[in-house]
Structure 1
Amino acid sequence: MGAPGSIAAGGVFRDHWGWVRGCYHFKGGTGFAFEAELLAVIYAITIAHQRCWLMLWIEEDSAYIVRLLEARSLDVPWRFMAAWKKALRLLEEFSVHVSHIFREGNCVADLMANPAMPEGWWPYARDEIKHAVVKDMATHSHVRIKH
């Protein structure tokens, strides 16, 4: 919402069939869109680690975040450095795949980042995203996580 402006982030965890295992949303104060993306991926890595979901496929619509993850780069704003380093350390315990997806290709995560969404973690698909989950699965049914 502006640059800089209020930032919010969200994400969705799916199993290898595409079904929702959980979703989250949080508000990140004031910042830039890149910072919201960064916080979303840090939060996702933390949640996955807490739940011992150690096979992780991160689909990210920020090509820059994808490059940061692939290179395990520390080229992030200073105020996020500690959290980013912790997330990178946690990733060492994962079998992880990182890929870029256009924002239009992941309606569910886009909905979860909506600033009007209440903050929280839900171990299911919220009503607001159920239609988008089905749409994303129909559109991307050929995509499966390889075990």
Structure 2
Amino acid sequence: MPDHGVHKVNTDASLEGDLASIVGVIRNHAGSFISAFSLNVDAQSIHGLELQAVQKGIMSASRLQLTRIWLESDSLFVVRIIEGKLDCPWKQWPLLAKIWALLTPFEDWKISHIWREGNAVTNFLSKRSFQIKNDVLGRADIPSDVVKPMELDASGMLYDRL
């Protein structure tokens, strides 16, 4: 769990043939749902999509005027790129530069890798995003079959993979 005042931003991307989506869920330090997003986007490399999801997550946190965020992605490659520990593919440099610029105004931020099983809520939303019509999602927009896993996730309990 993050410290008091820190908001977790979990992101994920999905690529199925020529269909691609990015999603994210923002929760407070207690794990309570704050906001989510789901977007269908142009298909590209999965790493590009994962970076795009992180960018949208940061933009969403900024829009909510959050000042301290903890980004989590199940793409270790993308986490290491943002940390500056791996070279970024040249096609993704403009996106990485935007991410770093968007992070500048935050009082504090960190990014970490989370296993796909720990990121199951965003993983599920990314698979369902082709059916979701909204960009910004409120709690009422979350598909009913993901509400229970969200509640278990917020409480720190493990659950079966979706």
Q: Give the TM-score, by structure 2 length.
A: 0.74
Within 1, Cα distance between the matches of 2:87 and 2:104?
15
Q: Which moved more, 1:106-115 or 1:19-28?
A: 106-115
Contact 2:81 / 2:87 at 8 angstroms: preserved in 1?
yes
Q: Residue 142 of structure 2: which of 103, 107, 127 is its match?
A: 127
Question: CA distance change for structure 1 residues 89 and 73 in 2, over 3 Å: closer, same or farther?
Answer: farther
SS at structure 2 position matched to 1:106: helix
Amino acid paired to 2:148: H
Contact 2:72 / 2:114 at 8 angstroms: preserved in 1?
yes
Identity in percent: 23
1:73 Cα offset (Å): 6.8
1:136 Cα offset (Å): 1.4
Q: Where does structure 1 differ by over 6 angstroms across 4 or more consecutive aligned residues?
A: none
Unaligned runs of 5+ in 1: 142-147
Name 1:6's counterpart in structure 2: 19
Q: Residue 102 of structure 2: which of 90, 99, 118 is its match?
A: 90
Name 1:145's counterpart in structure 2: none
Unaligned runs of 5+ in 2: 1-14
Contact 2:38 / 2:135 at 8 angstroms: preserved in 1?
yes
SS at structure 1 position matched to 2:133: coil
Within 1, Cα distance between the matches of 2:63 and 2:125?
20
Answering whether residue 74 of structure 2 is matched by residue 57 of structure 1, we say no
1:68 Cα offset (Å): 1.3
1:24-103 aligned within 5 A: 24-71=37-84, 75-78=88-91, 80-94=92-106, 95-103=108-116
1:28 Cα offset (Å): 1.5
1:77 Cα offset (Å): 4.7
Q: Which moved more, 1:126-135 or 1:34-43?
A: 126-135
Answering whether residue 139 of structure 2 is matched by residue 110 of structure 1, we say no
Within 2, Cα distance between the matches of 1:61 and 1:68?
13
Task: Give the number of aligned pairs.
Answer: 139
Q: Give the TM-score, by structure 1 length.
A: 0.81
Amino acid paired to 1:24: F
Name 1:137's counterpart in structure 2: 154
SS at structure 2 position matched to 1:113: helix
Within 1, Cα distance between the matches of 2:131 and 2:68?
31
Amino acid paired to 1:131: K
Task: Identify the structure with bigger relative contact order (alpha carbons < 8 Å, sequence gap 6+).
Answer: 1
